[in-house]
Amino acid sequence: MLVAACSPTKKTAFAKDEFKEWAQTPPMGWNSWDCYGPTVEEHEVKANADYMAKELKSYGWEYVVVDIRWFVENDKAGGYNQTNPIYVIDQYGRYQPATNRFPSAKGEKGFKELADYVHSKGLKFGIHIMRGIPKKAVEEKMPIKGTNGITADQIYSTELQCEWLKDNYTIVASKPGAQEYYNSIFELYAAWGVDFIKIDDLSRPYHEGEINLIRNAIDNCGRKIVLSTSPGETPVEKAAHVKSHANMWRMVDDVWDTWPHITHLMEVCQKWYPYIAPGTWPDCDMIPLGRISVRGERGEDRMTRLTKDEQYTLMTLFTIFRSPLFFGGDLPSNDAFTKSLLTNKDVLKMHSESTAVKQLFQKDGKVAITSKNSKTGETYLAIFNMSDTPNVNVQVNLAELGVKEGAEITDMWSGKSLGKASAQFAQPLAPHASTLIKISK
């Protein structure tokens, strides 16, 4: 799915837009948030990396991402400890991994050894951060590395502070030292071997100034680090800017294992089809399947509450839309059905290779989405019954897709032949169900 796991240090800056080359297909991996919230530990990250290397790497899955608050020693499940968090931070105001959760970080090694472990599996390593500068760094007037005496309290603002997590303050992009602070943290992450970074609280409101600082910092850090902006509904009027600064950007808030989350996502996707392109991907969020909320934010330890039809619908939407795929469940806990959703070669080939993704219609609970494979000449078609009504007949005019009568139709999830194409393709669907087909020449 993209970048070499261990890019050599590059002394000169990356060229403008070179970052798009690092994600020519939609990134695929695992993220700790859905199952471990802000409490994931090193042994759990390694267990998921081990599973990915053994079971999923050959299918294109490659990123292992440690999500939020890895620098807090005493966080909790079901929310955040905002009363008396114990932060781990260095002398330059840069968060460090909590060693009671990540023992390999002892001796000021940061995530270097954990990243090396992930790389040794042929995978890539990622982390999550919040935008801005730590409140602790501001309060203690910590120096900013790479400046001549500028301190953290000289570059911050309390305006537009994240509403739901109060660890950081906003960085004022125009202040001397602002760029240097972001440069300093990405210098650190490059030294650790980070390949992917998810940066939170950038999208609502859209923090253009800090996004500019982040892009500059990555382009000058010497390492190819794929950038994901998160969360919330990125304003579509900012599409040109986000495409020129990030590899992927969230379209919605967190997607959990309830049907309304899926219907909302389907609606929001409508405005983002024109912006799907190699290197820059609208992001449907993590995949809340398998075993989630082991120590998560929402609900008790459970297998996903989505029915099998709803799980197929979610995966069909994510893959035909060409969203990045980041599985949120605990991988070692996967059952056979969950694994089958992640290892269907035909579906993943579509996800990786298709072009010209577009929605044909979305009305009265009926949805149709199509794309093409320019390498094979195949046409892909997904149809959905998003309503609660049974036996809804969803019909598509195949001639309008350039499909000739007599072409072979295959159900992509089952691999079964559905016969020869005629002028129309129609299928009755159960509530919340879908069908994904490929039509060969």
* CB neighbour class for 55 (10 Å; exposed up to 12, middle 13-18, buried from 19): middle
Quick one: pLDDT at residue 296? 87
d(CA 262, CA 198): 22
CB contact at 8 A, 432 and 386? yes
Residues 292 and 364 in one domain: no
Whether 301 is covered by a domain: the verdict is yes
Confidence of residue 4 (pLDDT cuts 50, 70, 90): very low
Is the predicted pLDDT of residue 105 greater than 90, yes or no?
yes
Amino acid letter, 75: D
Q: How many domains does the chain have?
A: 2
- Out of 336, 353, 370, a domain closes at 353
Amino acid letter, 181: Y
For the chain, the first-to-last Cα distance in angstroms comes to 28
Quick one: pLDDT at residue 5? 36
Residue 264, CA distances (Å) to 251, 270, 320 in order: 10, 11, 17
Residues 330 and 418 in one domain: no
Q: Which of 8, 126, 29 is nearest to 326 (CA)?
A: 29
List own/partner pairs for 330-333 with CB under 8 A and 24 or more apart.
330/35, 330/36, 330/44, 330/48, 330/290, 330/291, 330/292, 330/294, 331/30, 331/47, 331/48, 331/51, 331/52, 331/55, 331/56, 331/290, 332/47, 332/48, 332/50, 332/51, 333/290, 333/291
pLDDT tens digits, 162-183? 999 999 999 999 999 999 999 9
Q: What is the mean pLDDT of residues 265-272?
A: 98
Quick one: pLDDT at residue 11? 60
Quick one: pLDDT at residue 7? 44
Is the predicted pLDDT of residue 441 greater than 90, yes or no?
no
Whether 75 is covered by a domain: the verdict is yes
CA–chain centroid gap for 428, Å, is: 33
Quick one: pLDDT at residue 6? 38
Q: Which of 154, 159, 203, 151 is nearest to 174 (CA)?
A: 154
Residues 340 and 422 in one domain: no
Q: Which of 282, 319, 322, 352 is nearest to 437 (CA)?
A: 319
Q: What is the mean pLDDT of residues 224-240?
A: 95
Is the predicted pLDDT of residue 10 greater than 90, yes or no?
no
CB contact at 8 A, 438 and 317? no
Is the predicted pLDDT of residue 3 greater than 80, yes or no?
no
Residues 92 and 133 in one domain: yes
Share of the chain above pLDDT 70, in %: 98
Quick one: pLDDT at residue 12? 82
Show the domain range for 29: 18-353
Residues 197 and 140 in one domain: yes
Whether 241 is covered by a domain: the verdict is yes
Note the pTM of the prediction, 2 decimals: 0.96
Query: Helix 308-320 and helix 259-269: axis angle, to 10°?
Result: 20
Is the predicted pLDDT of residue 1 greater than 50, yes or no?
no
Whether 11 is covered by a domain: the verdict is no
CATH number at 239 reads 3.20.20.70
- Which residues face 426 on adjacent strands? 395
Q: Take residue 406 and report the two structure tokens written for it.
A: 């007599």
Burial code (b: 16+ CB inside 10 Å, e: under 16) for 16-49 equals eeebbebbebbbbbbbbbbbbbbbbbbebbbebb
Whether 383 is covered by a domain: the verdict is yes
- Out of 353, 378, 396, a domain closes at 353
Residues 343 and 368 in one domain: no
Query: Helix 308-320 and helix 345-353: axis angle, to 10°?
Result: 30
pLDDT tens digits, 126-164? 999 999 999 999 999 999 999 999 999 999 999 999 999
Residues 345 and 408 in one domain: no
d(CA 348, CA 76): 36
Quick one: pLDDT at residue 371? 98
CATH number at 378 reads 2.60.40.1180
**DSSP-H helix ranges across 221-332:** 239-243, 259-269, 308-320
Query: Helix 112-120 and helix 42-51: axis angle, to 10°?
Result: 20
Handedness of CA 73, 67, 212, 147 (dihedral sign): positive
Is the predicted pLDDT of residue 284 greater than 80, yes or no?
yes
**In this predicted model, which residue has the larger pLDDT, 96 or 12?**
96
Residues 114 and 172 in one domain: yes
Is the predicted pLDDT of residue 96 greater than 80, yes or no?
yes
Residues 401 and 262 in one domain: no
Amino acid letter, 79: G
Residues 424 and 335 in one domain: no
Residue 32, CA distances (Å) to 38, 49, 309, 331, 333 in order: 8, 11, 25, 10, 13
CB contact at 8 A, 392 and 429? yes
Confidence of residue 232 (pLDDT cuts 50, 70, 90): confident
Whether 230 is covered by a domain: the verdict is yes
Under DSSP, the state recorded for 13 is P
3-state SS, residue 387: coil
- Strands 226-229, 248-250: pairing kind: parallel
Confidence of residue 234 (pLDDT cuts 50, 70, 90): very high
- Out of 353, 376, 397, a domain closes at 353
Compute the mean pLDDT over every residue in the chain, rounded to the nearest whole number: 96
Residue 284, CA distances (Å) to 36, 233, 321, 330, 349 in order: 20, 10, 9, 19, 18
Listing DSSP states for 164-220 in one string gives S--SEEEE-TTSTTHHHHHHHHHHHHHHHT--EEEEES-TTTT-HHHHHHHHHHHHT
pLDDT tens digits, 346-403? 999 999 999 999 999 999 999 999 999 999 999 999 999 999 999 999 999 999 999 9
Whether 5 is covered by a domain: the verdict is no
Whether 6 is covered by a domain: the verdict is no
CA–chain centroid gap for 215, Å, is: 17
Residues 164 and 262 in one domain: yes
Tell me if the bond preceding 428 is cis, omega within 30° of 0. Answer: no
Residues 233 and 132 in one domain: yes
